[in-house]
Structure 1
Amino acid sequence: MTTTPESIDLLIEARWVAPVEPDVLLKNHAVAVHQGKIVDLLPISRARTRYKVGRRVSLEQHILIPGLVNLHTHAAMSLMRGLADDLPLMTWLQEHIWPAEAAHVSPQFVLDGTRLACAEMLLGGTTCFNDMYFFPDAAANAAIELGMRAVLGITTLEFPTSYASDTDDYLNKGLRVREAYLDHPLIDFCLAPHAPYTVANATFERILTLSEQLHLPIHCHIHETKHEIEESMRQHKMTPLARLHHLGLLGPDFIGVHGVHFSDAELELLAETGSHIAHCPTSNLKLASGIAPVAKMRQMGINLGFGTDGAASNNRLDMFSEMRLAALLAKGTSGNASAMPAHEALRLATLGGAQALGLGERIGSIVAGKAADLCAVQLDTLECSPCFDPVSHLVHVAGREAVTHVWVNGKCCVDHKKLSFKDQNGLERAVALWQNKLEVRPAN
């Protein structure tokens, strides 16, 4: 008795598949996709008889992985790429970035900057980003236009900006945007108090209440520099992390960004509370903030994801670079060559970030029932040869230029290294206009 093949939208066949869950490498396997979801992962020979396919993509020299998750971005700041280099964090912020933002940030700035960031990230295999910036409605429009998944921060500060006048205004505006996108399949939200040095206790308490009521993660810079900790001790008689713990923010819904300077006791606190860390190694090095104790974090069971930070302080939104640098730093600082194997770096760049965002049941691994957020990387080029371990090559050999195809929710956003986004010329013109405006620096 013959079985009628099941109709599906898409079958992606690859020489290798790294599903992340479980941590295995599958050869000559196919991923079946229907209505934006992964429905099966099976050998190619079986897939061809089991499924009637709307479209078949054959990737004979590729590894197929889950889409990369960028756990910390300021996407619109792509328009400030290279604006102020070779400066420490507070000088960079106070004398260059904040004045430029005061002069230029607007809904159009955020729309164009986020479109630019999404284009760069998609071409580099990133399918989801967690953002902290202003005008989240403009950022949502940009992500939707490019077909990218985004978790948008309801950003909060104690001082006024071109976006909002006070903490009530920041929160109310962000919550209204969230309401407008509640049912959109690509857009989610988190609460994003900027940092302990820019947010008051009363505001943190309100954010905690909102997090518990709305089941939203909290995304906050923490322990990025030694200066931040020293100022907190002077003003509050406790470290920023201790202050957030005292206020009740640490827990499974908390994502601490950077986490460069933690004591062993503070690492134990993060582990005990189930908090997450967004590790941004390139930005931390470029701003001379330091090197996060990632090997110790892993030993203690703290969940990590990787972030690029904004292009103004990186200056790339390149998750391949973050994977490699994070793995090398973990090895070099710990003196342990196995501190972060390639398979673990891939897991943190995918499932680790997804779990931190509360999206681990939807994205981050190639599992039936999850969204078809996928990335194909070509490994047969001369610079990738020979290839003994494809996952090692992902982290230590191949770069974002090896990404050939990207799917988000089953839709092809990058096909043979080309964006499906139709208005690339318009985006290039917009970026050129912003460069002209930003080159006329605001007066300090």
Structure 2
Amino acid sequence: MSTQIIWGGTLLTGFNAAGEPVLLQDAGIACEAGAILATGPLADLKAAYPDATVTGGRDFAITPGFVNAHHHVGLTPLQLGSPDHPLELWFASRIALRDVDLYADTLFSAFEMIESGVTTVQHLHSRAPGTPADILAAAEKVVSAYRDIGMRASYSMALRDQNRLVYEADQDFVARLPEELRPAASAFFQRFTVPLSDQVAVFEELLARHGHGDRIRIQIAPANLHWLSEEALDVTGELQRRTGLPVHMHVLETPYQKAYARKRTGGSALAHLDRLGLLGPHFTIGHGVWMSEADIELAADRGVCICHNCSSNFRLKSGVAPVNRFLARSIPVAIGIDEAGINDDRDMLQEMRLVLRAHREPGIDAPHPSPAQVLRMATEGGARTTPFAGRIGRLEAGMAADLVMFDWPAVTYPYQDDGLGFVEVLVQRAKAKAVHSVLIAGEFVYRERRFTRLDRDAVLAGLAEALGKPKTPAEQDRIALSQALLPHVRRFYGGYLDGQGDEPFYRPSGRF
């Protein structure tokens, strides 16, 4: 295979042990067969690989590709009909979402991610209706979309075997509904009720098909404590120990989930997972907004990772995660855009700025993340939560050639004082329009601001045409069911937090 050299005026290879960026000037990478052969000054690379094709220039800045470490859907819930309710009400609101083809839907968000520099996505498929065969077919549509656009993806179908709407058994919730609502609610729950053994069989089949792919891998994603029986949690541990795969689980996203854990376990959700042997460096906590100081210490001791989903936490009124405490305890943190970013898109550059700004606690000496810490979250932090850990997140020999080429004049126009460091400027000023090209496994999947494999305009036109048709009877029925169930879901959570002693959303540093 041919060797290529990609170079720029500035190359960020990664971060050193102290968390400082490692920068090279007039430097690049040499890659072949999707992997990096060497990094270094352009002159040295040309001398070592005289027959290589050379791409780049001094006006480019090159970074490792970004990792969106927590992602669910393409078209956003807002686009498909659900406003941003608090999370527990949002589940009921989302019953009304329109049907959309999963292949085109996945491509929609993949376009947005890639053009903002995301090369790897952790796709957490929350649920799909129907039989195991239907669930496999849904998974294949998502996987096919990522394969066709050329993106690196870690895919999972979430394990989930109880409490499909509120934090109690489906049948108990249905029993308290007005009699006229019970048949429709029961039928809806039944569409998503699949025996745990069948869910494991789906996982095994997906692992057999995609578990060793170059750009597509499979991971384990138990949904959340309230959605999982003790049996399902035990199965999660068994799958992880047998396969060695990473685990990504929503944990303590809202105060209601913290209250549920107390009601069910008598204490902390995280402590309960630890008693079951689930925690360790392989385990990623999705959200972790309502972790206590004891939870944070436990996470640090066990070496777990945390995926911070800043936009989602704001949009769904979940709270502000104690990210500064995570960093103070050296807990690895990743960034996930979740359902959608603060502007209802999947712009990782924007998400990094939100993380940077949201955790600037009041006070001259109060803690706050640095631009370097945030950029590290979006690269190395995210990489270690995926099955691609050790292959992505840095630009050095032996790693995958996943990188972003920024048009640096576009980042800094009309002026940028050179007294600030490269990472400070990149994180705070770079916009998606400055992303010139993106390589994944050494392939230009986005070159000169155009996708190389697929026609974006045609895909979006197809989506617009499909969704421009009148709502189907099934969609209309779900809208009616959602509207009818919302007040009952709201009533269920009335008083749910009473006597829980929950901490406020804002936690001043003095509290710790």
Q: TM-score scaled by structure 2?
A: 0.79
Alignment of 1:404-443 (within 5 A): 404-436=436-468, 442-443=479-480
Instruction: Kindly provide the CA deviation profile for residues 358-379 of structure 1, in whole angstroms up to 9, marking residues without a partner as x.
Output: 5331000001000000001122
Is the CA contact (8 Å cut-off) linking 2:405 and 2:435 kept in structure 1? yes
Number of the residue aligned with 1:4: none
Deviation, structure 1 residue 163: 6.5
Alignment of 1:148-159 (within 5 A): 148-158=151-161, 159=164
Number of the residue aligned with 1:113: 105
CA–CA distance in structure 2, aligned partners of residues 313 and 207 of structure 1: 32
Q: Residues 115, 319 of structure 1: CA spacing in aligned structure 2 closer, same or farther, 3 A cutoff? A: same
Number of the residue aligned with 2:329: 300
Alignment of 1:40-439 (within 5 A): 40-78=38-76, 81=79, 83-94=81-92, 96-100=93-97, 104=99, 109-133=101-125, 134=128, 135-158=138-161, 159=164, 165-311=194-340, 315-332=344-361, 336=365, 339-381=368-410, 383=413, 385-388=415-418, 389-436=421-468
Count of equivalent residues: 432
SS state at 2:317 partner: coil
Is the CA contact (8 Å cut-off) linking 1:78 and 1:116 kept in structure 2? no
Q: Residues 199, 248 of structure 1: CA spacing in aligned structure 2 closer, same or farther, 3 A cutoff? A: same
Is the CA contact (8 Å cut-off) linking 1:69 and 1:127 kept in structure 2? yes
CA–CA distance in structure 2, aligned partners of residues 334 and 355 of structure 1: 33
What value does the CA root-mean-square deviation take over the aligned residues?
2.3
Is the CA contact (8 Å cut-off) linking 1:136 and 1:174 kept in structure 2? no
Q: Residues 83, 401 of structure 1: CA spacing in aligned structure 2 closer, same or farther, 3 A cutoff? A: farther
Deviation, structure 1 residue 175: 2.0
SS state at 1:369 partner: coil
Structure with more strand by fraction: 1
Is the CA contact (8 Å cut-off) linking 1:32 and 1:41 kept in structure 2? yes
Deviation, structure 1 residue 59: 3.1
- Aligned AA (1:344): Q
CA–CA distance in structure 1, aligned partners of residues 341 and 15 of structure 2: 34
Which stretch of structure 1 is more off in the superposition, 160-169 or 296-305? Answer: 160-169
SS state at 2:273 partner: helix
Is the CA contact (8 Å cut-off) linking 1:79 and 1:431 kept in structure 2? no
Identical pairs, percent: 25
CA–CA distance in structure 1, aligned partners of residues 343 and 253 of structure 2: 15
Number of the residue aligned with 1:9: 3
Which stretch of structure 1 is more off in the superposition, 260-269 or 417-426? Answer: 417-426
CA–CA distance in structure 1, aligned partners of residues 253 and 300 of structure 2: 18
Instruction: Kindly provide the CA deviation profile for residues 402-443 of structure 1, in whole angstroms up to 9, marking residues without a partner as x.
Output: 111100000101101111122324311332145336966532
Is the CA contact (8 Å cut-off) linking 2:222 and 2:233 kept in structure 1? yes
Q: TM-score scaled by structure 1?
A: 0.91
Is the CA contact (8 Å cut-off) linking 1:373 and 1:409 kept in structure 2? yes
Instruction: Kindly provide the CA deviation profile for residues 4-59 of structure 1, in whole angstroms up to 9, marking residues without a partner as x.
Output: xxx95211110101111442221111211111111111111222222234432123
Which stretch of structure 1 is more off in the superposition, 376-385 or 314-323? Answer: 376-385
CA–CA distance in structure 2, aligned partners of residues 433 and 233 of structure 1: 48
Is the CA contact (8 Å cut-off) linking 1:384 and 1:397 kept in structure 2? no
Q: Residues 333, 89 of structure 1: CA spacing in aligned structure 2 closer, same or farther, 3 A cutoff? A: farther
SS state at 1:32 partner: strand
Number of the residue aligned with 2:183: none
Q: Which has the larger radius of gyration?
A: 2
Q: What runs of 5+ residues in structure 2 fail to find an aligned partner?
A: 129-137, 165-188, 482-512
Deviation, structure 1 residue 77: 4.9
Which stretch of structure 1 is more off in the superposition, 54-63 or 277-286? Answer: 54-63
Instruction: Kindly provide the CA deviation profile for residues 73-99 of structure 1, in whole angstroms up to 9, marking residues without a partner as x.
Output: 0034547546323321111112x2134
Q: Residues 20, 141 of structure 1: CA spacing in aligned structure 2 closer, same or farther, 3 A cutoff? A: same
Q: Residues 204, 313 of structure 1: CA spacing in aligned structure 2 closer, same or farther, 3 A cutoff? A: farther
- Aligned AA (2:455): D
CA–CA distance in structure 2, aligned partners of residues 408 and 266 of structure 1: 37
